[in-house]
Structure 1
């Protein structure tokens, strides 16, 4: 392949989708980093030639010109999607569609469409895969609250670039929205909500910001001040994503019925879970968990299928909850 053809393909990979764009100056710098020295004028001529074959857009009002791909364009640039990649995109669409605003998904729409075409082209039963998969979330399946697309884009860009962001946010307990400066540390999808985990400037502690409560946002190009000891996985495993009753962990010992609770063997409640078979009808688990409201809800719901052996105080608390529930029966 000629050097010119390689340069063309490299440039096309560097041009983002609208509304983002790139200048000929930026393209020249990136090509130079790849040891493809070329003038801005040559890049301009190359892009003008390529625009006859590819859906390239140019903003001629800007100096230097700004280039982007049409947002709706499907790009048939090699490498073509193979079956595993196409299936992955179909699964991603099925899972993400109910969780993200349409505009956020629109950035991936051309890839979804190409994946669908790739599956249809294959002379294989896998081509019918989209008609044979569905994603169902556990729980009551209530409607998810809507997230502002600008907010989601701001937050994800801030996380990727490790910049701060300003959000117009109203917590449930705040009388009115406030402008807050956030140091983002992570994003957690916990059905039905999306949470931005981070520090609010001027306030102590790591906070959980529910994204549907933010009505606007903008990127602040200042580096995030990240706590040295913060780890997103450890934060989740500490029970922080539940309603904490205390910061002290609970050493939980349960006797569980088979086969109803066999999923606890395949999906442990914690990293240190130890499972012991008792007989053909029961097994026991010992595990460290967070002291959360979610734990209490789960234990209450599974009361007919598991016994709380330890701690005794938690066994009594769940028993009292069930007794109060029975007292309400008409």
Structure 2
């Protein structure tokens, strides 16, 4: 392939989708890393030629000029999206739509649109796939809090570049919003919320910041102070996201109704889960888990289908919750007449 054609392809891959842009001077730097040494004027001429055939936009008010793809441009040019890749993208769209913030999905819409167009060609039966797939999250179908798009983009950039960021944030317990400096460690998508995990300057401990509570943000040109031993998976497995009641794991012992709880054999509660004393009616289960609020909610919700054999203190606390709930519903029934 002629060197000019290779240069064109390389340049096209370096241009982001609007609203992000790249200047001709930045393109010159990036092209030089790929072995192409060009003047700004040469790059400008190349881009003008390419814009006649590709959906490129230029901001002429910037100096040097800033280029981008049209926001609705096709997701890819080379190679063309094939059927297996299109089907995979369509599956991803069905799964991600209920859990990702709308602003994050907007960046993927051109990819999803190209996948749907590919599946719909030549009366392909795969084109009917979107009509036949749905993703339902467990639990209440609550409306997801809206995340400020600029905040999400600032935080993702901060995480990628290991930089600090500044947020205008209002925690549930704060009377007014505060401007805080954050050292971001990672993002956790826990439907329906998105949490930034990190530390706040001047405050102790690792925090979980719900992104929908941040109204504005700014990227700072200062490196994140992150502990070398911090691991996001270990943080999650510690039970930190589940409001732990104890810092050490517990040994859970359950006797479960087979008809309603057999799914635990397919989706174990822990790596060391064991099932024994199986009959047609019931089975027993032991698992090492974190004592979290989520666990207690689950035990209360499944109380009619299992016996909590151990630990004893957790059985007593679960019974208190159930008794208080029963008394409240009785009172409501009397009040309702």
Relative to structure 1, the CA distance from residue 103 to residue 325 in structure 2 (aligned partners, 3 Å threshold; closer, same or farther) is: closer
Question: Counterpart of 1:131?
Answer: 131
| Structure 1 stretch displaced more, 182-191 or 23-32 | 23-32
- RMSD over aligned CA atoms reads 1.8
For 1:76 and 1:96, the matched residues in 2 are separated by 20
Measure how far apart 1:63 and its partner are: 2.4
Structure 1: state its 5+ residue gaps.
none
Q: TM-score, normalised by structure 1?
A: 0.94
Measure how far apart 1:40 and its partner are: 2.7
Measure how far apart 1:97 and its partner are: 3.1
For 1:133 and 1:4, the matched residues in 2 are separated by 45
For 1:122 and 1:241, the matched residues in 2 are separated by 48
For 1:214 and 1:295, the matched residues in 2 are separated by 29
Q: TM-score, normalised by structure 2?
A: 0.92
Measure how far apart 1:141 and its partner are: 0.7
CA contact (8 A) 2:89 2:111 kept: yes
Question: Counterpart of 1:327?
Answer: 327
Question: Counterpart of 1:223?
Answer: 223
For 1:104 and 1:297, the matched residues in 2 are separated by 30
Residue aligned with 1:260, SS = helix
CA shift digits 1:206-254 (9 cap, x unpaired)? 1000111111111112211111221111111111111222223211111
Residue correspondences, number: 330
Question: Counterpart of 2:264?
Answer: 264
For 2:270 and 2:201, the matched residues in 1 are separated by 32
For 1:245 and 1:253, the matched residues in 2 are separated by 18
CA contact (8 A) 2:185 2:226 kept: yes
- Please show how residues 36-51 of structure 1 align to structure 2 within 5 Å: 36-51=36-51
Question: Counterpart of 2:294?
Answer: 294
Correspondence 1:305 to 2:305: yes
| Structure 1 stretch displaced more, 89-98 or 283-292 | 89-98
Question: Counterpart of 2:78?
Answer: 78
Question: Counterpart of 2:241?
Answer: 241
Larger helix fraction of residues: 2
Relative to structure 1, the CA distance from residue 297 to residue 101 in structure 2 (aligned partners, 3 Å threshold; closer, same or farther) is: closer
For 1:96 and 1:36, the matched residues in 2 are separated by 39
